[in-house]
Amino acid sequence: MAHIRTWYLKVLLCVGTFLLFILVWCHVTQLLGEPKGGLGLDLSPLFSGDLVQPSCPEGLVLLILVTSHPAHTEQRKIIRKTWGAQSEMAAYPWQAVFLIGRTLDLELDWHLHKEHVANSDLLMGNYLDTYRNLTLKVMHGLKWAVDRCHPRYILKTDDDCFVNTDRLPTFLARTNRIRQGLYVGSTFSREKRVVIRDPSSKWYVSKQNYDPDTYPPYASGIGYILSLDVAHTVLATAQTTPSIPMEDAYVGILADRAGVKLLSSTRFAKHNLKWSICNYRYLMVIHRVSPAEQELAQGNVQLANTDCTMNKEVKHW
Ligand SMILES: *[C@@H]1O[C@H](CO)[C@@H](O)[C@H](O)[C@H]1NC(C)=O
């Protein structure tokens, strides 16, 4: 009897040890596997019920996400009057929305709410509005666009840029042939894609956040266009990719990881040169446009429509 009992206990001990081993092993592999997913971006905290958001009609060809500082009231005002102004009868519907984070300035916050009541075009996210949080701002905007808005294309731009809304929606809907997998903008040479490791720089990125010494090709944050499927892919990839504060380079990293090809186009101008009137038939985004220059640029678009009809229409990106 005693003999059977010890035998029984031995088997039990063996099985127990084995099960314990399996348990520990599972736990360890789970822990090891975690950093990949755990360090990606969690977007859910960026949404909060108390923050305002615009409505978005179904069937938009283009949604324009404009990153804007809470205090840039003047920039937003002039954009609404110029390239942001909708004509009621637009054949290819589009909409511009300003991306704004939280401000600790209570008076400014009060003004922002008033501004939203008057224009209903502010999309506020639950993050502090700082330069180092720009990536959160853009990811929040993309997530909102993908979940609530479903436009065919998304243009991300800044409030110091001019957007040729007279041409872009029509170009996207009628001329552009890339309906899926579109990621297009103004690119950088390899030398300009070197990762900045100086901690005092505005663009500093640690090796921990991003190990390689150069970024993959990416489109400048002045303006890039993503088709809706690419926006989806970018957001999904962000969940497993540590974020860096450089919003445009981060989108490039995500696109690269997901196998989305970047298209380079000179229709996105990093500099506001003295463009001729007829250039306004070609350019889609121009950077470094002051509020006063926005009116000039919008006027040039109108002039180009009447003065440059002899110029051949450029059909490629
Ligand atoms: C970014 O926003 C979060 C959430 O509001 C805040 O806790 C954090 O301090 C901000 N980061 C920077 C670098 O400003």
Q: What is the pLDDT, as a whole number, of residue 24? A: 44
Whether 133 lines ligand 1, by a CB cut-off of 6 Å, is yes
pLDDT value at 22 more than 50: no
Amino acid, single-letter form, for residue 168: L
Q: What is the pLDDT of residue 116?
A: 97
Q: Residues of the chain with pLDDT > 70: what percent?
A: 89
Mean pLDDT of 135-163: 98
pLDDT, tens only, 135-146: 999 999 999 999
Measured distance CA(33)–CA(208) in Å, rounded: 17
CA 126 to centroid of ligand 1, rounded, Å? 9
Instruction: 308-314: list long-range contacts, CB under 8 Å, 24+ apart.
Output: 308/277, 308/278, 308/280, 308/281, 311/278, 311/281, 313/175, 313/281, 314/281, 314/282
Where do the structural domains in the chain lie, given as residue ranges?
Answer: 44-307
Partners of 195 in the β-ladder: none
Handedness of CA 135, 139, 145, 148 (dihedral sign): negative
Pocket test for ligand 1, best of 51, 127, 202, 247 (most atoms within 8 A of CB): 127
d(CA 226, CA 142): 10
pLDDT of residue 21: 45
Encoded tokens for 276:
């001729």
CA of 131 to the centre of ligand 1 (A): 10
For ligand 1, the distance from its centroid to the CA atom of residue 128, given in whole angstroms, is 5
Q: Is the pLDDT confidence value at 69 over 60? A: yes
Instruction: Count the Cβ atoms, other than its own, within 10 Å of residue 267.
Output: 22
Listed in sequence order, the residues at least 6 apart from 26 whose beta carbon sits closer than 8 Å to its beta carbon are none
pLDDT at 10: 74
pLDDT in tens, 176-189: 999 999 999 999 99
Residue nearest to atom 13 of ligand 1 (CA): 132
What is residue 106's predicted lDDT score, i.e. its pLDDT? Answer: 97
pLDDT of 98 over the 50 cut: yes
Instruction: Give the separation between CA 17 and CA 187, rounded to whole angstroms.
Output: 58
Q: Tell me the two tokens of residue 148.
A: 């609530």
Q: What is the pLDDT of residue 8?
A: 64
Report the C-alpha gap between 185 and 202 in whole angstroms. 22
The pLDDT of 187-212, averaged and rounded, is 95
Query: Looking at the chain, which runs of residues are DSSP E strands?
Result: 62-67, 94-102, 122-128, 153-158, 161-163, 183-187, 219-227, 263-264, 268-269, 285-287
> Would you say the CB of residue 202 lies under 6 angstroms from ligand 1?
no
Report the C-alpha gap between 194 and 214 in whole angstroms.
4
pLDDT band, very low/low/confident/very high, at 2 (cuts 50, 70, 90): low
Residue to substitute in 51, 129, 133 for testing ligand 1 pocket (most ligand atoms within 8 angstroms of CB): 133
> What pLDDT is attached to residue 23?
54
Q: What's the whole-number mean pLDDT along residues 273-285?
A: 93
Ligand 1 nearest atom to the CA of residue 127, by list position: 5
pLDDT over 90 percentage in the chain: 81
Question: Is the pLDDT higher at 132 or at 310?
Answer: 132
Separation CA 87–CA 135 (nearest Å) = 31
Average pLDDT, the chain: 91
In this prediction, residue 15 carries a pLDDT of 53
Ligand 1, closest atom to CA 130? 14
Ligand 1 pocket: which of 128, 131, 205 to mutate (most atoms <8 Å of CB)? Answer: 128
Give 86's pLDDT tier (boundaries 50, 70, 90).
confident
- The whole-number pLDDT of residue 36 equals 42
Q: What are the residue ranges of helices labelled H in 186-279?
A: 228-238, 247-258
Which residue's CA lies nearest to atom 5 of ligand 1?
Answer: 127
- The whole-model pTM stands at 0.88
For position 18, what pLDDT does the model report?
Answer: 46
Listed in sequence order, the residues at least 6 apart from 105 whose beta carbon sits closer than 8 Å to its beta carbon are 70, 71
pLDDT the model gives residue 13: 61
pLDDT over threshold 90, residue 33 = no
- Cβ neighbors of 233 (< 8 A, separation 6 or more) are 254, 255, 258, 260
Instruction: Kindly list the strands in the beta sheet with 161-163, ordered across the sheet, starting from the edge strand earlier in the chain.
Output: 161-163, 285-287, 268-269
107 Cα to the center of ligand 1, angstroms: 20
Q: If pLDDT is split at 50, 70 and 90, which confidence band does 37 have?
A: very low
- Give the pLDDT mean for 59-76: 98
pLDDT score of 88: 76
Which tens digit of pLDDT belongs to each residue from 216-242? 999 999 999 999 999 999 999 999 999
- DSSP labels for 43-93? -GGG--TTS------TT-SEEEEEE--TT-HHHHHHHHHTTTPPPTT-SS-
> pLDDT band for position 212 (50/70/90)?
very high
Residue 138 has a pLDDT of 98
Which of ligand 1's atoms lies nearest the C-alpha of 245?
13
Phi first, then psi: give them for residue 47, nearest 5 degrees. Answer: -100, 135
* Topology, domain 44-307: Spore Coat Polysaccharide Biosynthesis Protein SpsA; Chain A (3.90.550)
* Three-class secondary structure of residue 269 per DSSP: strand
